[in-house]
């Protein structure tokens, strides 16, 4: 497996594995033992970078990842996220990045992940009620205590990244990035490059759309986040089909699938970009890994750029109430 470096010195596999939907946003939930085997098979295939969060479940996803990777701890990098407050029964009470709450949450994450140190700790979403300097300061203390190795931000804007980095160096920024969501190209990627910060695209396959397996007839379970996102209405799925046609055409030239072209396109953008596609089947995992062998020439990239510029993506990424929580 090819390796890449996030920040100054965090070496990870060139592709990571997003674990959220192994125990979150699904009905029925996948079988736990099957997901443990899948995570372990990912390690066997060279993947070393695994992504989870407190809010996935809540908590059950961290426990799943912790159980799966406990026997393989020395071979992997585990990233998790704080930033939500939970009620007495685990219910999501909204954003909270108060320093005392960050530290309390990390204690739970350490136990669930079965680790002594969290490799990467992201703020899941920027909390407008807590100065980012206070958040970075709290994580800095956790790093000094040996409970965290690296600080990350998720869905943060350029100025927030700068302010946080001035207090505690940021190793990685995680935000949505794919051929059909490229907002981070406007200013976030340039700040990451300037400051030496790695970038971790989540939903690099457009929550499954860029695989070419979804269409206007696809039905999403009520717990599936896509059932609440404007971009996944039947009308938008049909209107955006031009993106799939593009990926399919390039893929036929390369002997690759649409998903592999989408991932290969991301990988060639910057050498410090590490996508984390989610997989719940070994065949999908292997397909994604196959993207690492797909070569896109400058001519291929120009063709993709020209074609995508002609396509107007239909549907907002999030409803208005959730969109306000991104890029702060």
**What whole-number distance in Å separates Cα of residue 177 and Cα of residue 126?**
18
Do β-strands 148-154 and 84-86 pair in parallel, antiparallel, or remain unpaired? Answer: unpaired
- Tokens in use for 37? 């085997």
DSSP secondary structure string, 130-196? S-HHHHHHHHHHHHHTTSEEEEEEES--HHHHHHHHHHS-EEEEEEE-BTTB-GGGTTHHHHHHHHT
Query: 56, 202, 209, 232: which is the annotated catalytic residue?
Result: 56
Q: What is the largest CA-CA distance in the chain?
A: 56
Q: Which of 79, 171, 94 lies closest to 127 in space, CA to CA? A: 94
**What whole-number distance in Å separates Cα of residue 171 and Cα of residue 26?**
31
Q: Is 56 a catalytic residue?
A: yes
Residues identified as active-site: 56
């Amino acid at each position: 497996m090819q390796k890449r470096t996030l920040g100054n010195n965090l070496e990870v596999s060139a592709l990571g594995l997003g674990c959220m939907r192994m125990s979150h946003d699904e009905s029925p939930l996948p079988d736990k033992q099957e997901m443990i085997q899948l995570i372990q098979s990912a390690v066997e295939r060279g993947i070393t970078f695994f992504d989870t969060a407190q809010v996935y479940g809540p908590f059950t996803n961290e426990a799943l990842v912790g159980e799966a990777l406990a026997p393989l701890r020395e071979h992997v990098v585990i990233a998790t996220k704080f930033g939500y407050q939970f009620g007495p029964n685990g219910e999501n009470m909204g954003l909270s990045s108060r320093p005392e709450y960050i530290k309390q949450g990390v204690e739970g994450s350490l136990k669930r992940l079965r680790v002594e140190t969290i490799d990467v700790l992201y703020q899941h979403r920027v909390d407008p009620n807590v100065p980012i300097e206070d958040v970075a300061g709290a994580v800095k203390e956790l790093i000094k205590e040996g409970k965290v190795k690296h600080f990350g931000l998720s869905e943060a804007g350029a100025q927030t990244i700068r302010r946080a980095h001035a207090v505690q160096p940021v190793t990685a920024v995680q935000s949505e990035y794919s051929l059909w969501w490229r907002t981070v190209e406007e200013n976030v990627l340039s700040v990451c490059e300037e400051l030496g910060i790695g970038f971790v695209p989540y939903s690099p396959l457009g929550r499954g759309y860029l695989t070419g397996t979804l269409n206007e007839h696809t039905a999403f379970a009520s717990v599936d986040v896509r059932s609440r996102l404007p971009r996944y209405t039947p009308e938008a799925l049909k209107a955006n089909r031009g993106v799939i046609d593009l990926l399919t055409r390039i893929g036929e030239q390369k002997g690759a699938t649409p998903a592999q072209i989408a991932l290969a396109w991301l990988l060639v953008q910057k050498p410090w970009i590490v996508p984390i596609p989610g997989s719940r089947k070994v065949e999908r995992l292997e397909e994604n890994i196959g993207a690492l062998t797909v070569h896109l020439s400058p001519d291929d990239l120009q063709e993709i750029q020209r074609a995508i510029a002609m396509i107007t993506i239909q549907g907002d990424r999030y409803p208005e109430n959730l969109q306000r929580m991104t890029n702060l």
